[in-house]
Structure 1
Amino acid sequence: MSPSVAPKADAAQLIETIYAVAARPERWEEIIAAVGAAPQAGPEADAALANLRGLEDDAPSGGKPDLGVILLSPAGGVVGWNSAGEAVFRDRLGVVESRGLRFFNPSNHEALAHARARLADSRASQVIVKFVQAEDDDPHFAYMAPLSATPAQMIIDIPGADRASAALIFPAVETTDHLWRTIRESFGLTPAETRLAARLKDGLTLKESAEDLNVSLNTVRNQLRAVFEKMGLNRQSELVRALAQLSALSSSLQSAAPATVAATEAGALASAPPVLTHRLPDGRALAYRAYGDSAGRACMMVHQGLGSSLLPRGTDQLARDLGLYIICAERPGTGRSDPRQEPSFAAIAEDLVGLTDALGLDRVRIAAFMNGAAFALAYANALGPRAGRLLLASARPTGAEPETEGDRSHPIILLRRRMARSAWAVGPLYALLRRRLSLRQVETMVRTAASAPSDGAYLRSHPDVTTYIYDYMSEALSRGSKGAARELVLCANTPRLDLPRLSASVSVWYGADDPGGSPERMLAWLGRPCAEVRVVQGVGHYLAHKHWPDILAWLAADEVG
């Protein structure tokens, strides 16, 4: 269905389309037409939402992800656990005792010992353990990781962490993500076998996988038999189930990835600083990363919508070289930050000011991207004279903007325009995105977003950027989709910002080929002059990716006047 051809104009049609895309993600562009025909908020929309089932966030809103954690001593004894860890273990495998884990199935003791030995002998930051459940032969999988490679937020409240050397981590829910590097290291899968497993997890049949991999059906059958043998499985359904169990942990464990820096954007996650947590006065956690030299010039990076604190590869070292101390916080309800019940620009700015004060930062330079622009302006307004220069790159004004004829050749822009008009649909759409998020799906969307020829050329020469985008989207949605959805609704419902204390000099950068914004529209929305307007040739809305070193150099440059 073409995005420009509208289906029947009612809310129920949009919900039906969401279900159809949930089953077949490759049809995602049908959402654009369905949102375009959907009504604005009203009784019909409320009735449609009331009938929506099965796309709610798996993780509860607020609180930590419900992952089961059991802490082990160097000798293998149990020194601590959380309630989810005890419950998931007792439900499936055995009993948690102070002297160790007592399995219902004795073969699991051998599996655990083998995993401990493999972890000690390898360079992997985690290994996967296959346990056999109590009542049948169905497998259950868990991660084992050294305590030093386990994210601090997982163990901070567990007594006994000071005596532990490793953590056993059990999935509590099924999500969509993967950690293929660990699967290969744990079970010895070849790259070809891993690629096949990834496609089967994404819902492809054996025949479709063979076509996608450009090999014969007989070849993938042989590869599947090898996967079964190595992972101790018997059926394809068991493989998909096992991969779903393992996937449930990947977002939470990503900060524990091996410290291997690849020479591409795909290495951003592995080389990123750890995620830190600031406790706000009301008890909520505000997650952030700190890049560069803590004695350097203070900067606040404000990520775009559906973004996290993950910045491009090399940011930490480049910031050190330039004498910068860059903080990037994850806004309420995204990434690892706890949500606010009723988010507002002023309230979110207050959170960022609290973090700024806690870190002892005085004058702060700010850079923001796309939908993060309005949040950066609100933060600069709250800081008042403490805010230094402010850069808005590829900025998107708040409020609903009318569709133009030119938008029809840019599907992602068209979708954003229509979502802003029918904001009630943002929640289920983001829940759908989170449920079906995979590298394959992100590749499709990123290619579609590169509707300007210069952006398409950039992605073809830098295909690893897609992996980076997938990683920060995975982080953004790791706790749920509600925070990101509420943020987009807030932007759609706020035509303008009141910025009486904004004193920072503002610079505006746009790619010359950006189909979603322009300096003229931004300046009209902002309603005040800017210190600098820069139009960069040969790029569209991937400006920040292509010119990341230039952005950091701008932050490091001396202020004029």
Structure 2
Amino acid sequence: MDPSRAQNKTDLSEADRNEAIDRLYDVALDPERFETLLDVWESAVRPLRAQANFAAPRLLDDPIIAGHFKRASEFIDRVDLSQAPNDMDTILAPFGQVSAFVLDATLTVKGVNSAGIERLLLNKGSKLSELAVHPDDLDAIGRAVSTLMHGKAHDTTVLRVRALQQAHFVVLRLQRCLTVAGPPLVLAASSEVGWPDGFNDILRRAFSLTGAEADVVQSLVECCSVSDIAKQRGRSVDTIRAQVKSILSKTETHSQVELVRLALSVMDMANLTMDAQVEPRMVSKGYDSLESRDYQTLTTPDGRRLDYLVLGDPKGQPILFLPLNYGLVRWPASAEAEASQKGLRIIVPVRSGYGKSDLVPKKASYGDAVIADTMQILDDQGVKTCPIVSMGNDSYYGFQLARHYPDSFTALIACGGVLPITLREQYERMDKWHRFILAGAKYTPHLLPFMVKAGFFLARKIGKRSFIHAVYGDSPADVATFEHPEVFEAIITGSEVALSTNHIAHDGFSRAILEGQNDDWSADVHALKGRLPVIFMNGMQDPHVPPETLREFQRDYDWIDYRIYEDAGQLIFFRHWPDVIKVLSTLPN
């Protein structure tokens, strides 16, 4: 700020401003310092909020401060982009389904691809001795690696080693690799091939194979002998030989080697075909209990890609689920199974800017797009009427949908629901993380994009578990809920649409908060009184809606059916989903 300008009641002091700007650039260079900025910012800005006019709150409307935030935002992008794929990514990139790993001079695994993790049971940091091959062959691999490291022979060598688990041979191709910096490494590509999901079906359709014959092809590609296959399948060697003969005839190949080469070629073509698709097939895939779910894809009238998921029974009674700004698009495995058993079809939009759903252009209304996109998804599913289940402040979109399309929705069940925040005190009561973002959206909206972006980069750097523990640290119920194994898997998997290794949804998150949610939308709520059953399920440990704020909601909107839980917070849906399903089962079809 210009020193000649007189200080007014909504300006930071010179000391506060300088400290906040210092912390701002600290965060831009290292997102792990985000919480320090949060504390400094709150200390400086809270007194200004107390003096500001709530109806016209735009604090710190100073082009110099705004310029610092803009530059810091650019810095954080550069820092992230500078973290280019490392040598391991580059070395392993060409190996899709082929198991591959990289060794250093100490015979430690420096990198391994997903096929190597699955087929060879190796991980980064494993020792070569953990590779499940004959001990004599381990010594041979070690000697070959040492020879390659010192450049005493050709750059590559091929070894045939004996696997321990299935007593079959594995071919390893070892190649010396030079890195940008540091000592040379050795890449080991194995004949152990990761078999793609659904590839048996591709072989069956392409060559008219039976299911048993496709399984035999898989075993041959995995270097199993005919006798190995016979033991695995509980069949005689003669039966397997007859099946191999039939397979050779159907595929017009003349030997097992030629057959394996053909199968690998078809696999490569299948992978290339999938990679070349303009709209790639996306799958929401858990790592333990959750079933894989394909994303459905639409094109909006303005040409954007729009994705959504269907959980539960794909032909069941439709339920619209609004998954919170964190993009929690999956339910715990038991909840999804229960929904399927109860005949519930859970339709979950992946909103603009999340996952592969394209972001709405800046000049367009984000809120209007969310409403229009949701209705397009319901139309694609052939849904005429359904109830809405929302989480957190997505109750805002629930009310907007019901207000704009009153004949399309039969009820709103808001888990951790939020109503219009119309008092400054309601921001002040929030826990600090929620207040930092939501009060920032109210009082310093021009600075919010950096705050949100920095938060997302922090979550990427420290991991989702640490981030959730920080954000919900003052809500023991939310932390305990998150740590339940099924809930943990659902949140980690579902939130991939908001934060993954190659995508962050900070733009969509910011625009959702800035456009509509911080206005007074109480008229939209009152308009539904007597027209739509509205049930709020709220926890007393909610960092967004603490007990006193909840009591104010109950007073101002006394026609809503409130159901209060002492043992829950904002993540109440994940803790008490059986009650949600019970309510859904009582609603008229």
The whole-number CA distance in structure 2 between the counterparts of 1:388 and 1:51 is 47
How far apart are 1:520 and its partner, in Å?
7.0
Alignment counterpart, residue 489 of structure 1, candidates 514, 519, 535: 514
1:189 aligns with 2:122: yes
**Structure 2 residue corresponding to 1:291, chosen from 306, 311, 322:** 311
- Number of the residue aligned with 1:504: 532
Structure 2: which amino acid aligns with 1:442? K
Residue 434 of structure 1 and its aligned partner are, at CA, apart by 3.3
Aligned partners of 2:309 and 2:348 also within 8 Å: yes
Distance 2:357 2:80 in 1: 13
Q: Is the 8 A contact 2:440 2:448 kept in 1?
A: yes
- Whether 2:81 is the aligned partner of 1:55: answer no
With over 3 angstroms needed to count, the CA separation of the structure-2 counterparts of 1:32 and 1:351, relative to structure 1, is same
| 1:262 and 2:288 aligned | yes
1:21 corresponds to: 27
Percent of aligned pairs sharing the same letter: 18
Give yes or no for contact 1:346–1:378 (8 Å, CA) kept in 2: no
1:411 aligns with 2:432: yes
Distance 2:466 2:560 in 1: 38
Residue number in structure 1 paired with 2:357: 337
Which of 535, 538, 543 aligns to 2:567? It is 538
Q: Which amino acid aligns with 1:482?
A: D
Q: 1:450 — aligned with what?
A: 473
Q: TM-score, normalised by structure 1?
A: 0.60
Distance 2:540 2:26 in 1: 37
Distance 1:7 1:231 in 2: 60
Distance 1:354 1:179, change over 3 A: farther
Instruction: For residue 14 of structure 1, report the CA deviation from its aligned partner.
Output: 4.0
What residue is the counterpart of 1:31 in the other structure?
Answer: 37
Distance 2:444 2:183 in 1: 40
User: For the Cα contact (< 8 Å) 2:366–2:515, is it kept in 1?
Assistant: yes
Deviations along 1:234-288, one digit per CA (max 9) or x if unpaired, are 688899xx9xxxxxx9xx999557x67624xxxx4xx241111121111122211
C-alpha distance 307-447 of structure 1, shift in aligned 2 (>3 A):
same
- 1:349 is displaced (CA, Å) by 1.3
Taking the aligned partners of 1:475 and 1:8, their CA distance within structure 2 comes to 41
Letter in 2 for 1:299: I
Q: Deviations over 1:162-198 (max 9, x none)?
A: xxxxxxxxxxxxxxxx99856734886347559xxxx
Rounded to whole Å, the distance in 1 between the matches of 2:357 and 2:286 is 26
Q: Which residue of 1 aligns with 2:448?
A: 426
Deviations for 1:50-74, whole angstroms, at most 9, x for unmatched residues? 43322249999xxxxxxxxxxxxxx
From the superposition, tell whether residues 9 and 404 of structure 1 become closer, same or farther in structure 2 (CA, over 3 Å): farther
1:412 aligned partner, one-letter code: W
Contact 1:395/1:522, CA 8 A, preserved across alignment: no
Q: Is the 8 A contact 1:364 1:387 kept in 2?
A: yes
Which runs of 5 or more residues in structure 2 are unaligned?
1-11, 46-58, 82-88, 103-109, 128-148, 150-173, 188-274
1:513 has 2:541 as partner: yes
* SS at structure 1 position matched to 2:406: helix
Q: How does 1:106-505 map to 2 (within 5 A)?
A: 115=95, 118-119=97-98, 184-185=117-118, 189-190=122-123, 193=126, 255-256=282-283, 262-263=288-289, 268=290, 271-340=291-360, 341=362, 342-399=364-421, 402=424, 407=429, 410-420=431-441, 421-438=443-460, 440-448=462-470, 449-459=472-482, 462=484, 465-466=487-488, 468-477=490-499, 478=503, 480-491=505-516, 493-496=518-521, 498-499=523-524, 502=528, 503-505=531-533
Letter in 1 for 2:22: E
Distance in structure 1 (CA, Å) of the matches to 2:447 and 2:585: 41
Query: Which residue identity does 2:473 align to in structure 1?
Result: A
Q: Report the Cα distance in structure 2 between the residues aligned to 1:331 and 1:371, rounded to whole angstroms.
A: 14
Deviation of the 1:400 alpha carbon = 7.0
The whole-number CA distance in structure 2 between the counterparts of 1:513 and 1:33 is 22
Distance in 2 (alpha carbons) for counterparts of 1:111 and 1:283? 32
Amino acid at match of 1:27: R
Higher relative contact order (CA 8 A, sep 6+): 1
1:428/1:417 CA distance change after superposition, 3 Å: closer
Q: Could you tell me whether the CA contact under 8 Å between 1:350 and 1:382 is conserved in 2? A: no
Count of matched residue positions in the alignment of Structure 1 and Structure 2:
403
Relative distance call for 1:54 and 1:319 in structure 2 (3 A) is same
Cα 1:366/1:281, change in 2 over 3 Å = same
Give distance in 1, aligned partners of 2:413 and 2:293: 23
Q: Name the SS of the counterpart of 2:326 in structure 1.
A: coil
Q: Could you tell me how far apart the structure 1 residues matched to 2:125 and 2:298 are?
A: 43
8 Å Cα contact 1:57/1:431 also seen in 2: no
Structure with higher Rg: it is 2
1:524-535 correspondence to structure 2 within 5 Å: 528-535=557-564
Partner Cα distance (1:536, 1:476) in 2 = 28
Q: Give 2:576's match in structure 1, choosing from 547, 555, 559.
A: 547
Cα separation, 2, equivalents of 1:358 and 1:435:
35
Distance 1:552 1:307 in 2: 20
Output one character per residue of 1:458-497: Cα deviation in whole Å (capped at 9) or x when no partner: 455x266445434433321425421111112225542225
| Matched position secondary structure for 1:283 | coil
CA contact (8 A) 1:303 1:368 kept: yes
SS state at 2:398 partner: helix
Taking the aligned partners of 1:306 and 1:238, their CA distance within structure 2 comes to 42
**1: CA distance between counterparts of 2:176 and 2:313?**
44
TM superposition shift of 1:378: 0.7
* Structure-2 separation of matches of 1:368 and 1:44: 39
Shift of 1:336: 1.9
- Residues of 2 paired with 1:384 and 1:310: CA distance? 27
Shift of 1:441: 3.4
